[in-house]
Amino acid sequence: MEKIPITKEGFEKLKRDLEILKNKSIPENIRDIEVARAHGDLSENAEYTAAKERQSYLHGKLQELENNLAMSNVIALQSKTSDRVVFGCYVTIADSDNGDEIKYRLVGPLESDINQNKISVTSPIGKALIGKSIGSEINVQVPGGMRSFEVIDISLD
């Protein structure tokens, strides 16, 4: 089984999500099924059908979270500073065409979330950034074509 890199925060979030699922969502769903079953004829009971579909979803999510936790390899940042882009760090890059700056955190694929500016080290930009230092230029093939960026800043918090 191949291990997937993850930050300590990402690993803790997966554990919290699993606990909520086990201790809250699944027991609530079991109660929903019991209530719907008490309403009689199951063949025409929309509440029962919806609760059973939710049960299937929740058990799939449970398996997914357990598998993700089992495959996770928590990568701890070794120092408080870095002169190179490493897993878990924050990196600010500037678009070479228009100068727009954006700050990303490099994380594993299980915790990447573009809405929170968390990009995976396995993404095209993530791969191109690893090992680079401030002032480095990177060229990345993105869906819109080739883009160029400059590394402006690297931080670990």
Average pLDDT of the chain? Answer: 93
- Output the pTM of the full model: 0.82
Place of tokens 């065409």: 97
Q: What is the pLDDT of residues 124-139, one digit of tens each?
A: 999 999 999 999 999 9
Q: Are 105 and 75 in contact (CB under 8 A)?
A: no
> 130 vs 21, 41, 50, 87, 114, CA distance in Å?
35, 59, 45, 7, 18
Domain boundaries, the chain: 4-74, 90-155
Q: Which CATH class is domain 4-74?
A: mainly alpha
Angle among Cα 101, 107, 108 to the nearest 5 degrees reads: 140
Q: Which CATH architecture has domain 90-155?
A: Roll (3.10)
* pLDDT digit string (tens) for the chain, length 157 residues: 789 999 999 999 999 999 999 999 999 999 999 999 888 787 788 999 999 999 999 999 999 999 999 999 999 877 767 789 999 999 999 999 899 999 999 999 999 999 999 999 999 999 999 999 999 999 999 888 999 999 999 998 7
